[in-house]
Amino acid sequence: MLARERLREAKRIVVKVGTSTLAHDTGKLDLYRIDHLIRELADLMNQGREIVLVSSGAIAAGLSKLGLPERPASIPEKQAVAAIGQGVLMHIYEKFFAEYGKTIGQVLLTKENAVRHNQYRHSRDALLALLDMGVIPVINENDAVAVDEIKIGDNDNLSAMVATLVDADALVILSDIEGLYTANPATHPDAQLIHEIPEITPAVIEMAGGAGSKLGTGGMATKLQAAQIAMSTGVTMVIAAGQQEGILRRILSGETVGTVFPARESHLKVRKSWLAFGKRLQGELTVDAGCVEALEHGSSLLAAGIVDADGDFTAGSTVRVLAEDNREIARGIVNYNAQDLRQILGHRTEDFADLVHGPIHEEVIHRDNMVLMV
């Protein structure tokens, strides 16, 4: 099934709205645009679709409330502004959604909810229960308590994590840009919008620029990270301009707008979704072409095919597996620490006893603890 056709049939949809869509250039909230967005979401629910809203804007709302001209630089000040703005933003959402007869429920998440498997499952169960009740979950990263060590980092990645959590059919990221271009349209007038990207390749990543607007935190690079998560977990993702009137209706009717990232055909199991995208990545393993082919045919990762190991990880950590051209092939839980792994890479299992002390594992990463990313 073509990606645009899949969008027409999507029943459970995660919509991520960025700060640039919710606020004027002055930093104050754009109530007209918020009202139109909420009306469109409510109408999608009236069609029988389920909606999850991942919203930025807490800090922007706090800036507006406090009359501050720009985002503060320090983390404590950002946390304080977010704490004020979160209440403002939710009050607006609750008021506007109620005008259209819809009920919302606020959910605040941090990276810890994804890293710990029991919290991952509890978060999933809570979100699915809200959807079963006909409620729209409104989700944001818990900026008031999140710091760099536990922060998911941006709401693009958060939205992809949420789409994975709830087994969404589609993820729509509304931004201040229409999609991914062949070059930066602000500096290259001849840049062309790419309507569909079937695979996140190094060439595609090269096209991604830096941060977005002065109010937001997410640039195109983080949107590509979100796309990789979404595609790998069976979710069709679209990046589109949030300022366009009726943009959600147009996307979900299959119209060729924005950039679409088609879902891979098979969904990952919940545990493997958590393994690939919930756990923190602690290192990278580079493997040769023969190993890449073996992994793609369902093999476990063996030391003989590993050519390099980067990072200071322990046994039980989650690492990325890269091809020699830097393509990400897989993620998985490694059976050796970094020091021991560097001793055995390129060797066969029968050599391990002479190279390392402690338990010997035939597989560096067992296939049951690995998720392919290709």
Angle at the Cα of 252 from the Cα atoms of 249 and 257, rounded to 5 degrees? 85
| Alpha carbons 279 and 336: distance in angstroms, whole number | 17
Helix (H) or strand (E) run with residue 121 in it: helix 117-132
Q: Which residue has the tokens 């035939």?
A: 362
Q: Specify the 3-state DSSP secondary structure of 89.
A: helix
- The answer to pTM > 0.75 is no
**Per-residue confidence (pLDDT) for residue 264, from 0 to 100:** 77
The predicted-structure confidence for 315-337, as pLDDT tens digits, reads as follows 988 899 999 998 889 988 899 99
Closest CA to 239 of 215, 218, 223, 221: 223
Q: Specify the 3-state DSSP secondary structure of 206.
A: helix
Domain ranges in the chain with CATH number 3.40.1160.10 = 3-272
Q: Identify the burial level of 303 via C-beta atoms within 10 angstroms of its C-beta, where 0-12 means exposed, 13-18 middle and 19 or more buried.
A: buried
Closest CA to 176 of 220, 235, 140, 207: 220
The predicted-structure confidence for 230-280, as pLDDT tens digits, reads as follows 888 889 999 999 989 899 999 999 999 999 999 876 555 555 666 666 667
The predicted-structure confidence for 84-117, as pLDDT tens digits, reads as follows 988 899 999 999 999 999 999 999 876 565 556 5
- Does residue 108 contact residue 142 with C-beta atoms inside 8 Å? yes
Closest CA to 370 of 315, 295, 258: 295
The predicted-structure confidence for 163-197, as pLDDT tens digits, reads as follows 988 889 999 999 988 999 988 777 888 889 999 99
- Does residue 258 contact residue 171 with C-beta atoms inside 8 Å? no
| Alpha carbons 124 and 235: distance in angstroms, whole number | 16
Tokens of 56: 């930025």
211-216: long-range contacts at Cβ-Cβ below 8 A with a sequence spacing of 24 or more?
212/18, 212/20, 212/175, 212/176, 212/177, 213/19, 213/20, 213/176, 214/70, 214/71, 215/19, 215/20, 215/23, 215/27, 215/60, 215/71, 216/18, 216/19, 216/20, 216/56, 216/176
Which of the four pLDDT bands, split at 50, 70 and 90, describes residue 211?
very low
Q: Specify the 3-state DSSP secondary structure of 92.
A: helix
CATH of domain 280-372: 2.30.130.10
Domain ranges in the chain with CATH number 2.30.130.10 = 280-372
* Partners of 17 in the β-ladder: 55, 174
Closest CA to 275 of 132, 152, 164, 144: 164
Asked whether residue 210 carries a pLDDT value surpassing 50, the answer given is: no
Percent residues over pLDDT 70 in the chain:
87
CA distances, 81 to each of 22, 57, 144, 159, 237 (Å) = 16, 11, 8, 22, 31
CATH 3.40.1160.10 matches 3-272: yes
**β-bridge pairing 136-141 and 50-55:** parallel
